[in-house]
Structure 1
Amino acid sequence: MSEVSGGEPGEVLIVTGMSGAGRSTAANALEDLDWYVVDNLPPQMLRPLLDLTELAAGALPRVAVVVDVRGRDLFRELPEVVRALRARGQLRVVFLDAADDVLVRRFEAVRRPHPLQGEGTILDGILLERERLAGVRESADVIIDTSGYNIHQLATEIVELYSTDGAARHTITVMSFGFKYGLPPDADMVIDMRFLPNPFWNESLRALNGKDSEVREFVLAQEGASEFIDTYAQALRPVLEGFQRENKRHSVLAVGCTGGKHRSVVTAGEIAERLASVPGVAVRVKHRDLGRE
């Protein structure tokens, strides 16, 4: 029986802080960055988790753990556990905070009690939580005050702090389709290429599709085709940059023609090629209706 070989411990990030300061938003942003996220883990389970990242031998390179006062009395051991684990691996702590009056308004807006308020008020719960978290906050690697943030701004802050160098902050899928089969329901933007002559009516091109060089040359030779593609791709650059600032992680650009075989396929490929140079953007190409009869 072979032994399980271990490796280097993966990177572990503890997400903690005040209730209502944005822990769930931060966790969601990390998950979008392909971190493995564990929510509401008792501090005592951090040691086995770090052991698991070593045994996983690279399968869990980045793990984010949300630890907070929902762990009740177990949470009190967090500072001690963190001190013991820092020497073992790449463990960091991000602490989310906000002003008391902001936290009160947030709890009132969602009409939920503070987890520590008991028979008291929301503010009573906040003050007790702040007292219990004082030591954790003091030893945190990063403290983020979310008082002036909305959820999109906080997510953007997390992405800027914890995305890997060169990682895409937005993915756009450029999808060709045929109007006769209906609009893609998930399209954010739609292009109609039916202003160009249809290669379907050319006997030598009818059986081919937009991936074939003959069709591509025919489409791009049409008046206005290249100009439109160049201009549209250039106009999308500030849109994609804005999506990154607003932490919109995905978008779909639907490029349509009548049957989704010729003009839309060529155009989708050409636009995708031009967008590949936009910093922070990953481009995918999908041809929805290419295989239809």
Structure 2
Amino acid sequence: MANKAPESQQRILLVTGMLGAGKTTALRELEDLGWESIDNFPIRLLDRMVGGNAPGAHSLAIGFDCRTRDFVPADIIAQVKRWIEEDGLAISTLFLDCAGYELERRFNETRRRHFLAGDLPVPSGIAAERELLAPMRRWADVLIDTTDYSTNDLKQTIREHFSQTAPQQMTVTVSSFAFARGKPPTADLVFDMRYLDNPHWEPGLREQTGLDAGVGEFIEGSAVFTSSFEKISSLLLELLPRYAKQGKAYVNIAFGCTGGRHRSVYTAEKMAQVLRDGGFSPTVLHRNLGSRAEDLVEGTQHP
């Protein structure tokens, strides 16, 4: 696990490793987790970016490899040691490794030349790179071998190692809408509440909304609401942590009814409270709450 730093201290992660082992994928995933990422930054300019007085984000991931200008592993290690000892910086190093045969396959698949191979076959370049990077590999705080990894496997591993230090969390939105105006296109999970009795047809409730106590009491009075709401709550409390673990940044949960003013509004508000109690911080949106009941197609029945 990467070293943790106080909230006010700059957090720095050096990302290096074998060409083809997944550095670009790792940096992109770190960006999604809220890190500011820089790749192949000239080593001689690191002092400006990392030094004790350097400005920057509290979470900074810097990628470099054998192609980076002025890349000398022994010099980088010595410089990082000085930053840690003299400036008290929280610096960790991630090394991405991969077996030679798999790296060779990846290079052949992409038809790319190895940077250190020159006119020689790819295995010669890989061998030279492995020898060059040996000090960095031995010194790294976190070593990830991507030989048997898919891209998704690497992303998952990066999240497991570094998501706890990331400043951003998954954004959860709970919304209500009217089926009469169409489903929200960005909804990840849609629940149709039209199986409930419609307050629109109850005297005195048509002009009210799901934010009013009378409508809430009417909906709660249905036995099927209580049982179904508990099932939906359990499902969401199980799914949301799994979405977060998979690195999903946004989850939109939408509840719909015919007019988007009664059943869906009440359910969305009640569900948002359940999610807050479960440790989430949902944003609540009511897409059609401002529409007049007469403007929406309620039909002649009670759907």
Cα displacement (A) at 1:230: 0.6
Measure, in 1, the Cα distance between the counterparts of 2:151 and 2:200: 48
Is 1:75 the counterpart of 2:71? The answer is yes
2:62 is matched with which residue? 65
Gaps of 5+ in 1: 1-6
2:284 is matched with which residue? 285
2:10 is matched with which residue? 10
* Gap change, CA 1:44 and 1:203, over 3 Å in 2: farther
Cα displacement (A) at 1:182: 1.5
Gaps of 5+ in 2: 1-6, 293-303
- Is the deviation greater in 75-84 or in 10-19? 75-84
Does structure 1 retain, via aligned residues, the 8 Å contact 2:16–2:94? yes
1:222 is matched with which residue? 222
Measure, in 1, the Cα distance between the counterparts of 2:146 and 2:173: 32
SS at match of 2:62: strand
* Gap change, CA 1:277 and 1:46, over 3 Å in 2: farther
* Gap change, CA 1:278 and 1:217, over 3 Å in 2: same
- Is the deviation greater in 207-216 or in 89-98? 207-216
1:3 is matched with which residue? none
Does structure 1 retain, via aligned residues, the 8 Å contact 2:34–2:168? no
* Gap change, CA 1:9 and 1:191, over 3 Å in 2: closer
* Gap change, CA 1:86 and 1:219, over 3 Å in 2: same
Q: Which amino acid aligns with 2:67?
A: R
- Is the deviation greater in 112-121 or in 92-101? 112-121
Aligned length: 282
SS at match of 1:70: coil
Does structure 2 retain, via aligned residues, the 8 Å contact 1:42–1:74? yes
Cα displacement (A) at 1:174: 2.2
Cα displacement (A) at 1:93: 0.8
User: Which structure's CA Rg is the greater one?
Assistant: 2
Q: Which amino acid aligns with 1:85?
A: W
* Gap change, CA 1:177 and 1:40, over 3 Å in 2: farther
- Is the deviation greater in 113-122 or in 25-34? 113-122
* Gap change, CA 1:31 and 1:166, over 3 Å in 2: closer
Cα displacement (A) at 1:245: 4.3
* Gap change, CA 1:173 and 1:126, over 3 Å in 2: farther
Cα deviation code 1:102-158 (max 9, x no counterpart): 222233344433333333333233222222211211211111112222223322222
TM-score, length-scaled by structure 1: 0.83
2:141 is matched with which residue? 141
* Gap change, CA 1:102 and 1:166, over 3 Å in 2: closer
Residue pairs, 1:150-169, within 5 angstroms: 150-164=150-164
Cα deviation code 1:44-92 (max 9, x no counterpart): 22211124x7464xx7222111122331x42225334323323221111
Q: Which amino acid aligns with 1:66?
A: G
Measure, in 2, the Cα distance between the counterparts of 1:207 and 1:219: 15
2:131 is matched with which residue? 131
1:35 is matched with which residue? 35
* Gap change, CA 1:84 and 1:231, over 3 Å in 2: same
Measure, in 1, the Cα distance between the counterparts of 2:234 and 2:168: 19
Cα displacement (A) at 1:169: 6.1
Q: Which amino acid aligns with 2:283?
A: R
Cα displacement (A) at 1:199: 2.2
Measure, in 1, the Cα distance between the counterparts of 2:125 and 2:231: 56
Measure, in 1, the Cα distance between the counterparts of 2:48 and 2:168: 32
* Gap change, CA 1:10 and 1:99, over 3 Å in 2: same
- Is the deviation greater in 110-119 or in 254-263? 110-119
Measure, in 1, the Cα distance between the counterparts of 2:227 and 2:38: 49
Measure, in 2, the Cα distance between the counterparts of 1:187 and 1:172: 11
Q: Which amino acid aligns with 2:132?
A: R
1:4 is matched with which residue? none
Give the alignment's Cα RMSD to 1 decimal.
2.8
> Identical aligned pairs, as a percentage?
37
Cα deviation code 1:208-261 (max 9, x no counterpart): 322233322222222311211111111233333433443434332221112222
TM-score, length-scaled by structure 2: 0.81
2:93 is matched with which residue? 93
2:255 is matched with which residue? 255
* Gap change, CA 1:275 and 1:150, over 3 Å in 2: farther
* Gap change, CA 1:113 and 1:266, over 3 Å in 2: farther
Cα displacement (A) at 1:200: 2.5
Q: Which amino acid aligns with 1:81?
A: Q
